[in-house]
Homo-oligomer: A and B are copies of this chain.
Amino acid sequence: MQEFCILNKPDARFYMSQELDRIDAALLNAVQRNNRLTSDELAELVNLSPTACHRRLKRLRAEGVIEADVSIVSPKAVGRQVTVIVLVSLERERADIIDRFKTAIRNTREVMIGYYVTGDADFILVVTAKDMEGYEEFTRRFFYENHDIKGFKTMVVMDRVKASFVLPIDV
């Protein structure tokens, strides 16, 4: 049923932006930081009735402006003490090799995010592990056994400065 909406109306994600007004922006800025706020609390924040806030958020979710609603789990609390950023270079930039590598990323639990990028590297991965030994074990499994990979550079995260994926939203 939600699929229907998405198929029927062209997906807002790709030509939006003028369709968002100041109040939408305020709502998004709020729920980006805390999506458990009630409609009443949001209403207070943006000077609108609770019902109107609710309707707007429903629309933003249906249109795909809000992609997901998630809980952020502390890596350390679940036993992943180590976060590492890895720059990966592939042997060659060929579509099938790239696709194969994307699939490997998707199928590997340790990789939280993978970016396919231009520039010095081909991919940038954010990887979590229990400890450095666990990371090493991961590299053996993920990198050394993969012939598509020319090389990789490891950078261990000592501190994360901004917590999450909060976008600046104006309009």
Interface string of A113-149 (1 = CB under 8 A from B): 1111111110110001000000000000000000000
Within the complex, the shortest CB–CB distance from A24 to chain B, in Å, comes to: 9
In the complex, the answer to whether B73 meets A71 with C-beta atoms within 8 Å is no
Provide the bound-state CA to CA distance between A73 and B168, in Å.
10
Is A151 part of the binding interface, using a Cβ–Cβ cutoff of 8 Å? no
Within the complex, the shortest CB–CB distance from A107 to chain B, in Å, comes to: 10
B-contacting residues, A79-135, CB 8 Å: 79-80, 83, 85, 102, 105-106, 109-121, 123-124, 128
A66 cross-chain contacts in B, Cβ below 8 A: 71-74
Q: A17-B78, A78-B167 are in contact. Are A162 and B113 (CB under 8 A)?
A: yes
Is A67 part of the binding interface, using a Cβ–Cβ cutoff of 8 Å? yes
Provide the bound-state CA to CA distance between A124 and B74, in Å.
20
In the complex, the answer to whether B68 meets A106 with C-beta atoms within 8 Å is no
Provide the bound-state CA to CA distance between A158 and B102, in Å.
12
In the complex, the answer to whether A117 meets B167 with C-beta atoms within 8 Å is no
What is the size, in residues, of chain A's interface with B at 8 Å between Cβ atoms?
A: 71
In the complex, the answer to whether B77 meets A73 with C-beta atoms within 8 Å is no
Provide the bound-state CA to CA distance between A82 and B142, in Å.
29
A168 cross-chain contacts in B, Cβ below 8 A: 80, 109-110, 128
Provide the bound-state CA to CA distance between A156 and B116, in Å.
8
In the complex, the answer to whether B160 meets A113 with C-beta atoms within 8 Å is yes
A123 cross-chain contacts in B, Cβ below 8 A: 161
Q: Which residues of A contact B (CB under 8 A)?
A: 12-14, 16-17, 20, 25, 28, 31-36, 63-80, 83, 85, 102, 105-106, 109-121, 123-124, 128, 153-169, 171
